[in-house]
Amino acid sequence: MKYYVAVLIGVATVIVPVFTQDLNEDAVNNCTLTGGSLNNLNSIQQRCTSITIQDLTVPAGQTLSLTALKAGSTVTFNGLIRFGYAEWTGDLIVVSGTNITIIGGSGHLFDCHGERWWDGLGANNGKLKPTLFQTNNLLYSNVRGLRIKNTPARCFAIQSSQHVVFSNIIIDNLDGNSNGGHNTDGFDLNENNDITIQYSQIVNQDDCFAINSGTNCYFYHNHCSGGHGISIGSVGDRRSNVVRNVHVRNCTVVNSENGIRIKTIANATGQVLDITYEDVTMQNITNYGIVVRGDYRNSGPTGHPTGGFSIKNLTLSNIQGWVQRTAINVMVLLAGGVASEWRWTRVNVTGSRFAHINNCTGVPPNSGVEC
């Protein structure tokens, strides 16, 4: 901490800064947090609107809680941001507030060392694993330029937030492929409105993007590798079960289980409305190029889609690419009456040796869907 003491020199009073070890305060509103303690975090948020977090190791089992930020604050991460090891399901970082800007400074890295938690069992089994970055009631804000390596499990959990833009985020969980990374979702969204995720690269072992509920979401110009694809759902059995107006544009999905996926939970209820995927390219997909299914269970799909959902106004336009020979190009498995107002144009996913098998049930007439 730097504070000011008045010193008498002759007749003049001079203001002299005084430092303590962990916190530098260059001006009253510009503060730096560094080292290995969060003790000053609350007072910094109360006093400073320009916060630099530099070479910080968050103590094991603690949350870097940026939930007391003043409206209009900027938080810049510099250097290495690390986390002590604890088996727990909390969040390593939480951000709330209004008009907040979160920036990754040049050369910074969130070096999460997820391999300490990875056991191949993911978020629901084995060691308890924390989520890296939760937003909760984050409003009118920007998160940009973050570089993230090897998260224990989920990377971004975006909850109850509105009008937030995530740009130029790099998530690199490549090491998880050989070391037991699982459920390392890139962006999970619940109960938000107006979230944009753009110009980002996600390498992981679960959904690149998954929206379970919420309205007005834009996923633009992103590259997904290694995971489970660009997903709506699973929808159902949550507090909120409506997904409305999602727009995915100009994205690539490579070396992943799925390209495009919509899944609703068997025997649950909900709505999936006004969804557009356009200009999506996929390569080397192992399971399904495009899949829309109403029989999902976390323990595995039942094979029996159920009603109780409306999947209405689903547009796919200019979707190109290839799946592995043992994968399925396009599969729709829905109960009658669930799907309506679908418009699929220029959808060309090839590669499956099952291409001649009709893998579509519950497709609305004149929708342009070919399975």
Ligand X SMILES: *[C@@H]1O[C@H](CO)[C@@H](O)[C@H](O)[C@H]1NC(C)=O
Residues 188-217 that bind ligand X (CB under 6 A): 199
Q: Does 245 interact with ligand X (rule: CB under 6 A)?
A: yes
CB of 29 to ligand X, least distance (A): 8
Q: Which residue has the tokens 């995530």?
A: 166
Residue 260-289 contact track with ligand X, rule CB under 6 A, x = bound: ------xx------xxx-------x-x---
Binding of ligand X at residue 2 (CB under 6 A)? no
Single residue of 34, 40, 45, 52 touching ligand X by CB under 6 A = 52
Could you tell me which stretch among 55-63, 189-197, 203-211, 357-365 binds ligand X (CB under 6 A)? 357-365
Task: Tell me if residue 247 is catalytic.
Answer: no
Q: Which residues contact 179 (CB under 8 A, 6 or more apart)?
A: 115, 118
218 binds ligand X (CB under 6 A): no
Could you say which of 98, 101, 160, 167 contacts ligand X (CB under 6 A)? 98
Of 92 and 262, the one with the shorter C-beta distance to ligand X is 262
Q: How far is the CB of 148 from ligand X (least distance, A)?
A: 18
Rule CB under 6 A: choose which of 47, 113, 221, 238 binds ligand X.
221
Question: If you ran DSSP here, which 8-state letter would residue 236 be given?
Answer: S
Of the residues 50, 167, 177, 196, which one makes contact with ligand X according to CB under 6 A = 50
Residues sharing a CB contact under 8 Å with residue 285, sequence separation 6 or more, in sequence order:
229, 253, 256, 257, 258, 259, 321, 322, 323, 324, 327, 349, 351
Any contact of residue 357 with ligand X (CB under 6 A)? Answer: yes
**In this structure, are residues 60 and 85 in contact, taking their beta carbons and an 8 Å threshold?**
yes
CB of 27 to ligand X, least distance (A): 6
Neighbours of 33 (CB within 10 A): 23
Least distance in Å: CB of 75 to ligand X? Answer: 11
Read off the tokens for 276: 């557009």
**Catalytic residue (one of 228, 247, 304, 356):** 228
* Dihedral, 210, 290, 244, 172 alpha carbons, nearest 10: 20
Residue count at the site for ligand X (CB under 6 A)? Answer: 37
Of residues 291 through 350, those in contact with ligand X by CB under 6 A are: 297, 302, 313, 322, 328, 331, 333, 348, 350
Our measurement of the distance from residue 352's CA atom to the centroid of its chain's CA atoms, rounded to an integer in Å, reads 30
DSSP state of 288: E
Among 278, 354, 355, 370, contact with ligand X (rule: CB under 6 A): 354
Q: Select from 120-128, 159-167, 202-210, 243-251 the region that touches ligand X (CB under 6 A).
A: 243-251
- Show Cβ contacts of residue 2 under 8 Å, excluding neighbours closer than 6 positions: 17, 18, 19, 20, 23, 24, 25, 26
DSSP codes joined into one string, 31-83: EEEEES--TTHHHHHHH-SEEEEEEEEEPTT--EEE-SPPTT-EEEEESEEEE
Whose tokens are 């106004």? That residue is 313
Q: What tokens appear for 362 in the block? A: 């519950």
User: Should residue 22 be labelled a site residue for ligand X when binding is judged by CB under 6 A?
Assistant: no
Q: Which of 272, 249, 247 is closest to 334 using CA atoms?
A: 272
| Of residues 46 and 286, the one with the C-beta less far from ligand X | 286
Residues that bind ligand X (CB under 6 A): 26, 30, 32, 50, 52, 71-72, 98-99, 140, 199, 221, 223, 245, 247, 250, 255, 266-267, 274-276, 284, 286, 297, 302, 313, 322, 328, 331, 333, 348, 350, 354, 357, 359, 361
Instruction: List the catalytic residues.
Output: 228
